[in-house]
Structure 1
Amino acid sequence: MTAFIMGQMEIHSRDWMEEYFARIPELVTRHVGKFVVRGGDPTRTEGDSPAPDAAFILEFPDRAHAEAFWNSKEFQTLATLRRSGSTLDSILVDALD
């Protein structure tokens, strides 16, 4: 069953972004994933919290591929870099059958 990782990001500095975004697409692809949404100019449609600076949706063939990507050493290295200048809220969800 298809699985998605969805995230909302607050960007505090941009120092990490060039390296991160140069490397993340290939890593997602290597884990049989793809970006469905990347950046996207988020606008809050409901709720009181501010809209995030950026949002993303990654699609994987199944939860196992999504978890393998997220837990990979390569991604965790990039996540450490990303955390140096941003805060991320993300979730992993399964698609409808």
Structure 2
Amino acid sequence: MTVYLIAEVKVTDDAWIPDYAARVHEIAARHNGRYLSRSGNIEELEGEPTDVTLIALIQFPSREDALAFANDPEYAPFGAARKAGSVSHFRLIDDTDLAGSIPYLGKPG
């Protein structure tokens, strides 16, 4: 089942960004991850603006692939640098429809 890793990041010290931006997409790709977006162009359509500098959306073919990326020892120093220089939230969602009424999405298990 396809899953999406949503990373919401508020940068507090940008020293980690160049290495992270140059290398992490390769690590994600080794775990079958594909960046769909890594953008700072965030436009609020509803609700209060969040205090986020960038949002990344990475597609993985399975939860196991996403977890393998997040737990990869090669990713660990990049993740530690990101955590030290930001306030971050990583969320994982699948491709199901909770209401079950969209035919092209899976039904929750």
- TM-score normalised by length of structure 1: 0.90
Supply the AA of the counterpart residue of 2:6: M
Supply the AA of the counterpart residue of 1:12: T
SS of aligned partner of 1:73 = coil
With CA pairs under 8 Å and 6+ residues apart, which has the higher RCO, 1 or 2?
Answer: 1
Supply the AA of the counterpart residue of 2:18: E
Q: Decide whether the 8 Å contact of 2:8 with 2:56 is kept in 1.
A: yes
Supply the AA of the counterpart residue of 1:27: I
Unaligned residue ranges in structure 1 (runs of 5+): none
Q: Decide whether the 8 Å contact of 1:44 with 1:51 is kept in 2.
A: no
Q: Which has the larger radius of gyration?
A: 2
Q: Decide whether the 8 Å contact of 2:5 with 2:58 is kept in 1.
A: yes
SS of aligned partner of 1:59 = strand
Unaligned residue ranges in structure 2 (runs of 5+): 97-105
Percent pairwise identity? 28
Give the distance between the partners of 2:17 and 2:51, measured in 1 at CA.
Answer: 20
After superposition, give the CA deviation of every residue in 1:51-97 in whole Å (9 maximum; x if it has no partner): 51100110001111011111111222211011221111121111132
Q: Say how many residue pairs are matched.
A: 97
**C-alpha displacement of 1:41:** 0.6
Q: Work out whether 1:61 is the aligned partner of 2:61.
A: yes
**C-alpha displacement of 1:46:** 2.2
RMSD over aligned Cα atoms: 1.4
Which segment drifts farther, 55-64 or 71-80? 71-80
Supply the AA of the counterpart residue of 1:56: A
- TM-score normalised by length of structure 2: 0.81
